[in-house]
Amino acid sequence: MRYNIEPIGIIESPYREKFAIPRQPGLVKSAQGSIVMNKEFSSPDFFRGLDSFSHIWLEFVFHENIDRGWQPLIRPPRLGGNAKIGVFASRSTFRPNALGLSVVELLGIHYQRGIAHIDIGGLDLLHGTPIIDIKPYLPYADAIPEARGGYAHTAPEQHIQVEFSAAAKQALIALQQQYPNLNNFIVDVLKQDPRPAYQKKNESDRIYGMQLYNLNINWHVQGNTHYVTSIMELS
Protein backbone atom coordinates (compact mmCIF):
# COMPACT_ATOMS: atom_id res chain seq x y z
CA MET A 1 0.00 0.00 0.00
CA ARG A 2 1.06 3.58 -0.62
CA TYR A 3 0.02 6.65 1.33
CA ASN A 4 -0.04 10.28 0.25
CA ILE A 5 1.31 12.69 2.87
CA GLU A 6 1.07 16.44 2.36
CA PRO A 7 3.12 18.99 4.33
CA ILE A 8 1.19 21.16 6.77
CA GLY A 9 3.93 23.79 7.00
CA ILE A 10 7.55 24.69 6.31
CA ILE A 11 10.40 25.40 8.73
CA GLU A 12 12.09 28.80 8.86
CA SER A 13 15.47 27.93 10.36
CA PRO A 14 18.81 29.66 10.93
CA TYR A 15 20.48 26.53 9.48
CA ARG A 16 20.75 27.21 5.76
CA GLU A 17 22.87 24.14 4.96
CA LYS A 18 23.17 20.67 6.49
CA PHE A 19 26.72 21.24 7.71
CA ALA A 20 26.69 22.51 11.33
CA ILE A 21 23.16 21.34 12.12
CA PRO A 22 23.36 19.58 15.53
CA ARG A 23 22.89 15.82 15.35
CA GLN A 24 20.01 15.86 17.83
CA PRO A 25 17.38 18.43 18.86
CA GLY A 26 17.94 20.36 22.06
CA LEU A 27 21.73 20.31 21.91
CA VAL A 28 21.82 23.92 20.71
CA LYS A 29 19.11 25.53 22.82
CA SER A 30 19.81 28.99 21.37
CA ALA A 31 18.73 27.82 17.89
CA GLN A 32 15.34 29.38 17.23
CA GLY A 33 13.04 29.25 14.25
CA SER A 34 9.40 29.00 13.21
CA ILE A 35 6.98 26.63 11.54
CA VAL A 36 5.14 28.63 8.89
CA MET A 37 1.84 26.80 8.55
CA ASN A 38 0.06 26.39 5.26
CA LYS A 39 -2.99 28.63 4.98
CA GLU A 40 -5.47 25.75 5.26
CA PHE A 41 -3.92 24.78 8.62
CA SER A 42 -3.63 28.29 10.08
CA SER A 43 -6.98 28.60 11.80
CA PRO A 44 -6.60 29.14 15.58
CA ASP A 45 -8.82 26.09 16.05
CA PHE A 46 -5.89 23.84 15.08
CA PHE A 47 -3.82 25.13 18.01
CA ARG A 48 -6.42 25.47 20.74
CA GLY A 49 -4.79 24.21 23.95
CA LEU A 50 -1.33 23.80 22.42
CA ASP A 51 0.10 26.72 24.42
CA SER A 52 -0.32 24.70 27.63
CA PHE A 53 2.55 22.45 26.51
CA SER A 54 6.22 23.43 26.78
CA HIS A 55 7.46 21.11 24.01
CA ILE A 56 6.11 19.55 20.83
CA TRP A 57 7.01 16.68 18.53
CA LEU A 58 7.61 17.49 14.88
CA GLU A 59 7.35 14.89 12.14
CA PHE A 60 9.11 16.02 8.99
CA VAL A 61 10.68 14.98 5.69
CA PHE A 62 14.41 14.87 4.98
CA HIS A 63 13.57 16.55 1.70
CA GLU A 64 17.12 17.06 0.46
CA ASN A 65 18.07 13.40 0.94
CA ILE A 66 15.24 11.66 -0.89
CA ASP A 67 17.06 11.42 -4.22
CA ARG A 68 20.30 10.22 -2.62
CA GLY A 69 18.95 6.83 -1.64
CA TRP A 70 19.69 4.78 1.49
CA GLN A 71 21.53 1.68 2.69
CA PRO A 72 20.64 -0.95 5.34
CA LEU A 73 23.95 -0.27 7.12
CA ILE A 74 25.26 3.17 8.11
CA ARG A 75 28.26 4.58 10.00
CA PRO A 76 26.98 6.79 12.87
CA PRO A 77 29.21 9.77 13.79
CA ARG A 78 28.81 8.83 17.46
CA LEU A 79 30.90 5.71 16.81
CA GLY A 80 33.60 7.69 15.03
CA GLY A 81 32.28 7.07 11.53
CA ASN A 82 33.89 3.62 11.40
CA ALA A 83 31.58 0.98 12.93
CA LYS A 84 28.49 -0.01 10.96
CA ILE A 85 25.02 -0.46 12.42
CA GLY A 86 21.58 -1.00 10.91
CA VAL A 87 19.72 2.04 9.65
CA PHE A 88 16.82 1.24 12.01
CA ALA A 89 19.26 1.33 14.96
CA SER A 90 20.22 4.87 14.00
CA ARG A 91 18.81 8.31 13.39
CA SER A 92 20.45 8.56 10.00
CA THR A 93 18.88 11.08 7.63
CA PHE A 94 19.09 8.49 4.83
CA ARG A 95 16.09 6.24 5.46
CA PRO A 96 13.65 4.17 3.39
CA ASN A 97 10.90 6.78 3.80
CA ALA A 98 13.06 9.86 4.59
CA LEU A 99 11.01 10.74 7.67
CA GLY A 100 12.38 12.43 10.77
CA LEU A 101 11.18 13.14 14.30
CA SER A 102 12.30 15.95 16.60
CA VAL A 103 11.15 17.32 19.94
CA VAL A 104 11.47 21.10 20.22
CA GLU A 105 10.56 23.80 22.71
CA LEU A 106 7.33 25.65 22.00
CA LEU A 107 8.04 29.37 22.38
CA GLY A 108 4.76 30.77 21.14
CA ILE A 109 2.32 31.19 18.26
CA HIS A 110 1.79 34.36 16.29
CA TYR A 111 0.08 35.34 13.05
CA GLN A 112 1.25 37.29 10.04
CA ARG A 113 -1.37 38.15 7.41
CA GLY A 114 -3.54 35.31 8.60
CA ILE A 115 -0.76 32.70 8.49
CA ALA A 116 0.15 30.91 11.73
CA HIS A 117 3.80 30.92 12.79
CA ILE A 118 4.76 28.50 15.56
CA ASP A 119 7.95 29.74 17.22
CA ILE A 120 10.27 26.95 18.39
CA GLY A 121 13.62 26.58 20.14
CA GLY A 122 16.36 23.95 20.20
CA LEU A 123 15.61 22.89 16.64
CA ASP A 124 17.86 20.74 14.46
CA LEU A 125 16.11 21.28 11.14
CA LEU A 126 17.26 22.66 7.81
CA HIS A 127 15.62 25.80 6.46
CA GLY A 128 12.72 24.81 4.22
CA THR A 129 12.09 21.42 5.84
CA PRO A 130 8.49 20.24 5.23
CA ILE A 131 6.54 19.52 8.43
CA ILE A 132 3.95 16.75 8.14
CA ASP A 133 2.58 16.63 11.70
CA ILE A 134 2.74 18.26 15.14
CA LYS A 135 1.99 16.51 18.43
CA PRO A 136 2.32 17.67 22.06
CA TYR A 137 5.17 16.26 24.13
CA LEU A 138 3.79 14.35 27.12
CA PRO A 139 6.39 14.08 29.92
CA TYR A 140 4.68 11.17 31.69
CA ALA A 141 4.69 9.06 28.52
CA ASP A 142 7.56 10.39 26.43
CA ALA A 143 10.25 10.69 29.14
CA ILE A 144 11.38 7.22 30.24
CA PRO A 145 14.22 7.58 32.80
CA GLU A 146 15.09 3.87 32.84
CA ALA A 147 15.32 3.57 29.04
CA ARG A 148 18.57 2.24 27.53
CA GLY A 149 20.33 4.38 24.94
CA GLY A 150 22.63 1.81 23.35
CA TYR A 151 25.78 3.40 21.90
CA ALA A 152 24.36 6.90 22.61
CA HIS A 153 23.22 6.59 26.21
CA THR A 154 24.42 10.06 27.23
CA ALA A 155 24.94 13.35 25.44
CA PRO A 156 28.36 13.68 23.81
CA GLU A 157 30.91 15.42 26.00
CA GLN A 158 32.50 18.44 24.38
CA HIS A 159 35.44 20.29 25.88
CA ILE A 160 35.63 22.95 23.21
CA GLN A 161 36.42 26.61 23.68
CA VAL A 162 35.26 29.22 21.17
CA GLU A 163 37.11 32.47 20.57
CA PHE A 164 36.50 35.33 18.12
CA SER A 165 39.03 37.34 16.16
CA ALA A 166 38.96 41.15 16.36
CA ALA A 167 37.25 41.28 12.94
CA ALA A 168 34.64 38.72 14.02
CA LYS A 169 33.92 40.70 17.20
CA GLN A 170 33.37 43.85 15.15
CA ALA A 171 30.99 41.96 12.90
CA LEU A 172 29.02 40.74 15.93
CA ILE A 173 28.63 44.33 17.12
CA ALA A 174 27.46 45.47 13.68
CA LEU A 175 24.94 42.62 13.46
CA GLN A 176 23.70 42.81 17.05
CA GLN A 177 20.45 44.61 16.27
CA GLN A 178 19.53 42.22 13.46
CA TYR A 179 20.71 39.06 15.25
CA PRO A 180 20.72 39.82 19.00
CA ASN A 181 21.63 36.26 20.04
CA LEU A 182 24.22 35.61 17.33
CA ASN A 183 27.24 35.38 19.64
CA ASN A 184 25.71 32.69 21.84
CA PHE A 185 24.29 30.85 18.84
CA ILE A 186 27.67 30.57 17.10
CA VAL A 187 29.33 29.43 20.34
CA ASP A 188 26.67 26.79 20.97
CA VAL A 189 26.92 25.43 17.42
CA LEU A 190 30.71 25.25 17.42
CA LYS A 191 30.80 23.57 20.84
CA GLN A 192 29.02 20.65 19.15
CA ASP A 193 32.02 20.42 16.77
CA PRO A 194 30.22 20.06 13.43
CA ARG A 195 33.29 18.65 11.66
CA PRO A 196 33.06 15.11 10.26
CA ALA A 197 34.43 12.50 12.67
CA TYR A 198 37.39 11.64 10.46
CA GLN A 199 38.57 15.27 10.41
CA LYS A 200 38.63 15.63 14.19
CA LYS A 201 41.69 13.42 14.50
CA ASN A 202 43.91 15.50 12.26
CA GLU A 203 45.49 18.84 13.12
CA SER A 204 45.58 21.18 10.13
CA ASP A 205 45.31 24.82 9.13
CA ARG A 206 42.06 24.16 7.34
CA ILE A 207 39.46 26.94 7.38
CA TYR A 208 35.91 25.70 7.91
CA GLY A 209 32.77 27.55 6.93
CA MET A 210 29.10 27.32 7.80
CA GLN A 211 26.01 29.30 6.90
CA LEU A 212 23.76 30.50 9.70
CA TYR A 213 20.91 32.81 8.70
CA ASN A 214 22.25 34.85 5.79
CA LEU A 215 25.77 34.81 7.22
CA ASN A 216 28.92 32.94 6.30
CA ILE A 217 30.99 32.10 9.39
CA ASN A 218 34.58 30.91 9.00
CA TRP A 219 36.72 29.31 11.70
CA HIS A 220 39.75 27.11 12.25
CA VAL A 221 40.66 24.67 14.97
CA GLN A 222 43.69 24.59 17.21
CA GLY A 223 43.63 21.92 19.89
CA ASN A 224 40.32 22.24 21.72
CA THR A 225 39.73 25.82 20.61
CA HIS A 226 37.65 26.91 17.62
CA TYR A 227 38.72 30.37 16.43
CA VAL A 228 36.07 32.32 14.52
CA THR A 229 38.00 34.36 11.98
CA SER A 230 35.23 36.11 10.03
CA ILE A 231 31.48 36.68 9.88
CA MET A 232 30.21 38.01 6.58
CA GLU A 233 26.77 38.72 5.20
CA LEU A 234 25.96 36.90 1.97
CA SER A 235 24.80 38.96 -0.97
The string of DSSP letters for 183-228 reads HHHHHHHHHT--S-GGGTT----PPEEEEETTEEEEEEEETTEEEE
SS3 of residue 230 by DSSP:
strand
Q: What is the pLDDT of residue 159?
A: 84
Q: Taking the model in full, what pTM does it have?
A: 0.90
Q: What is the pLDDT of residue 203?
A: 63
Instruction: Kindly report, as residue ranges, where domains of CATH 2.40.30.70 are found in the chain.
Output: 9-142
The torsion angles phi and psi of 182, rounded to 5 degrees, stand at -60, -40
- Residue 139 is given by DSSP the state H
Instruction: Kindly report, as residue ranges, where domains of CATH 3.30.2310.10 are found in the chain.
Output: 161-233
- Per CATH, the architecture of 9-142 is what? Beta Barrel (2.40)
**Residue 91 CB contacts under 8 Å (≥ 6 apart), including other chains:** 23, 24, 100
The residues with which 221 forms a beta bridge, in sequence order, are 226
Model confidence over 41-67: pLDDT tens digits? 999 999 999 999 999 999 999 999 888
Model confidence over 90-110: pLDDT tens digits? 999 999 999 999 999 999 999
Topology (CATH level 3) of domain 161-233: YaeB-like fold (3.30.2310)
